[in-house]
Structure 1
Amino acid sequence: MSDFKPRFLKPSDTSSFLDKNDSHSVESTDFIYNRHLSQTIHTQRQRLPIFNNRNHILYLLEKYQTLVLVGETGCGKSTQIPQYMIEAEWPLSVGVCEPRRVAAISLANRVADETGTIVQQETVGYAVRFDACTNKPRIKYMTEGILLREMMSDPLLKDYSAIMLDEAHERTLYTDILMGLMKKILKKRKDLRLIVASATLDAKALQEFFNINPTGNKRDDTAVIMTVEGRQYPVDIFYVAEPVPCYIQASVDAVLKINESKERGDVLVFLTGQEEVERTVRLLNEHANLLEESRNKQKISVLPMYGALPHHDQLKVFRQAPEGHRKIVVATNIAETSVTIPGIVHVIDCGFVKLRWYNNETHTDSLVTFPISKSSADQRAGRAGRLRAGKVYRLYTEEFASKLAENTPPEMVRSNLTYAVLQIKALGIANILKFDFPSPPPLENLRSALEILYALDAIDIDCELTRPLGFNMAEFALDPLYSKVLFSSGEFGCSEEILTIISMLQVETVFTKPSTGTSIIKSRIQKRLFEVEEGDLITYLNVYNGFIQSDMSQGFCHKNFLSYKGLKRVVEIRKRLEKMLRNYGIRIESCIRSTESIRKCLVKGLFPNAAYLHHSGVYKTIRGDIELFVHPDSVLYTIPQPQWVLFCQVVHTTKLFMRDLTVIESDWLIELAPHFYYKTTFLE
Structure 2
Amino acid sequence: MSKRTNRREPSSSEESSIDSEEERRRKDVQDRDEFAERLKKRDEDRTRKVVEAASSSKRTYEEAAKRLKLDAEDKEKLLPELRKQSRRQYLEKRKEDKVAELEADIRDDEYLFADSVITERERKDREYKKSLLQIAKDHEKARELERVQRYHMPKDIKKGETQEYVEVDENERMPNSEQKKWEAEQLASASYQFGSKDAKDRAKQQEEYELLLEDQIDFIQALGLEGTKEKERKPEITETEKKKMTIEDTKKSLPIFPFKEDLIAAIREHQILIIEGETGSGKTTQIPQYLYEAGFTNDGKKIGCTQPRRVAAMSVAARVAEELGIKLGNEVGYSIRFEDCTSERTVIKYMTDGTLHREFLSEPDLGSYSVMIIDEAHERTLHTDILFGLVKDIVRFRKDLKLLISSATLDADKFSDFFDEAPIFRIPGRRYPVDIFYTKAPEADYIDACVVSVLQIHATQPLGDILVFLTGQEEIEACQEMLQDRVKRLGSKLKELLILPIYANLPSDMQAKIFEPTPPNARKVILATNIAETSLTIDNIIYVIDPGFAKQNNFNSRTGMETLMVVPISKASANQRAGRAGRVAPGKCFRLYTARAYQNELEENTVPEIKRTNLGNAMLMLKALGINDLLHFDFLDPPPKETLVLALEQLYALGALNHHGELTKLGRRMAEFPVDPMMAKMLLASEKYKCSEEVVTIAAMLSVNGAIFYRPKDKIIHADTARKNFNHPHGDHLSLMQVYNQWAESDYSTQWCYENYIQFRSMKRARDVREQLVGLMQRVEIDMVSSLSETTNIRKAITAGYFYHVARLSKGGNYKTVKHNQSVIIHPNSALFEELPRWILYHELVFTTKEFMRSVIEIDSKWLLEVAPHYYKPKELEDSTNKRMPKVVGKAP
Q: Matched residues in 2 for 1:682 and 1:659: separation?
A: 23
Q: Is residue 412 of structure 1 aligned with residue 621 of structure 2? A: no
Q: Matched residues in 1 for 2:289 and 2:344: separation?
A: 18
CA separation of 1:683 and 1:575: change in aligned 2, threshold 3 A: closer
| Aligned partner (choices 534, 547, 559) of residue 337 of structure 1 | 534
Q: Is residue 185 of structure 1 aligned with residue 406 of structure 2? A: no
Map 1:192-211; keep pairs closer than 5 Å: 192-211=401-420
Q: Is residue 445 of structure 1 aligned with residue 640 of structure 2? A: no
CA separation of 1:498 and 1:8: change in aligned 2, threshold 3 A: farther
1:68 maps to 274
1:565 maps to 761
Q: Matched residues in 2 for 1:485 and 1:193: separation?
A: 39
| Aligned partner (choices 542, 565, 568) of residue 738 of structure 2 | 542
1:55 maps to 261
Q: Matched residues in 2 for 1:133 and 1:421: separation?
A: 28
Q: Matched residues in 1 for 2:336 and 2:839: separation?
A: 41
1:84 Cα offset (Å): 1.6
1:219 maps to none
CA separation of 1:126 and 1:683: change in aligned 2, threshold 3 A: closer
Q: Is residue 645 of structure 1 aligned with residue 836 of structure 2? A: no
**Deviates most, 307-316 or 451-460:** 307-316
Contact conserved, 2:353 with 2:384, CA < 8 A, in 1? yes
Q: Matched residues in 2 for 1:509 and 1:106: separation?
A: 23
| Aligned partner (choices 364, 380, 385) of residue 561 of structure 2 | 364
2:158 maps to none
Q: What one-letter code is carried by the residue in structure 1 that aligns with 2:481?
A: R
Give me the CA root mean square deviation.
Answer: 2.3
CA separation of 1:307 and 1:123: change in aligned 2, threshold 3 A: closer
CA separation of 1:600 and 1:295: change in aligned 2, threshold 3 A: same
Q: What one-letter code is carried by the residue in structure 2 that aligns with 1:556?
A: W
Structure 1 portions without partners, runs of 5+: 11-37, 212-221
| Aligned partner (choices 420, 425, 429) of residue 627 of structure 2 | 429
Q: Is residue 112 of structure 1 aligned with residue 321 of structure 2? A: yes
1:72 Cα offset (Å): 0.7
TM-score normalised by L of structure 1: 0.90
1:523 maps to 719
Count of aligned positions: 642
1:322 Cα offset (Å): 5.0
| Aligned partner (choices 269, 275, 297) of residue 468 of structure 2 | 269
1:40 Cα offset (Å): 2.5
- Of structures 1 and 2, the larger Rg is shown by 2
CA separation of 1:626 and 1:681: change in aligned 2, threshold 3 A: closer
2:855 maps to 660
2:429 maps to 230
Aligned-partner SS, 1:680: helix
Q: Is residue 83 of structure 1 aligned with residue 289 of structure 2? A: yes
Q: Matched residues in 2 for 1:590 and 1:662: separation?
A: 20
1:6 Cα offset (Å): 4.4
1:577 Cα offset (Å): 1.1
CA separation of 1:470 and 1:134: change in aligned 2, threshold 3 A: farther
1:123 Cα offset (Å): 4.9
**Deviates most, 130-139 or 477-486:** 130-139
1:477 Cα offset (Å): 0.6
CA separation of 1:308 and 1:361: change in aligned 2, threshold 3 A: farther
Q: What one-letter code is carried by the residue in structure 2 that aligns with 1:561?
A: Y
Q: Is residue 583 of structure 1 aligned with residue 779 of structure 2? A: yes
2:451 maps to 252
CA separation of 1:526 and 1:185: change in aligned 2, threshold 3 A: same
2:807 maps to 611
Aligned-partner SS, 1:406: coil
1:671 maps to 866
Q: Matched residues in 1 for 2:341 and 2:801: separation?
A: 28
Q: Matched residues in 1 for 2:679 and 2:542: separation?
A: 42
**Deviates most, 244-253 or 325-334:** 325-334
2:249 maps to 43
Q: Matched residues in 1 for 2:324 and 2:507: separation?
A: 26
Contact conserved, 2:338 with 2:769, CA < 8 A, in 1? no
Q: Matched residues in 1 for 2:706 and 2:359: separation?
A: 31
Q: What one-letter code is carried by the residue in structure 1 that aligns with 2:866?
A: E
Q: Matched residues in 2 for 1:9 and 1:374: separation?
A: 33
Deviation readout 1:276-313 (Å, 9 max, x if unpaired): 1111111112123335xx44421222122112222222
2:819 maps to 623
CA separation of 1:44 and 1:322: change in aligned 2, threshold 3 A: closer
Aligned-residue sequence identity (percent) comes to: 43
| Aligned partner (choices 578, 589, 595) of residue 381 of structure 1 | 578
1:521 Cα offset (Å): 2.4
Deviation readout 1:143-198 (Å, 9 max, x if unpaired): 11111111122212121121111111110000100001111111111222211111
Q: What one-letter code is carried by the residue in structure 1 that aligns with 2:365?
A: L
Q: Is residue 297 of structure 1 aligned with residue 522 of structure 2? A: no
Q: Matched residues in 2 for 1:611 and 1:671: separation?
A: 17
Q: Matched residues in 2 for 1:271 and 1:632: separation?
A: 23
Q: Matched residues in 2 for 1:122 and 1:681: separation?
A: 58
Aligned-partner SS, 2:707: coil
Contact conserved, 1:237 with 1:394, CA < 8 A, in 2? yes
Q: What one-letter code is carried by the residue in structure 2 that aligns with 1:488?
A: A
1:488 maps to 685
Contact conserved, 2:306 with 2:374, CA < 8 A, in 1? yes
Q: What one-letter code is carried by the residue in structure 1 that aligns with 2:391?
A: M
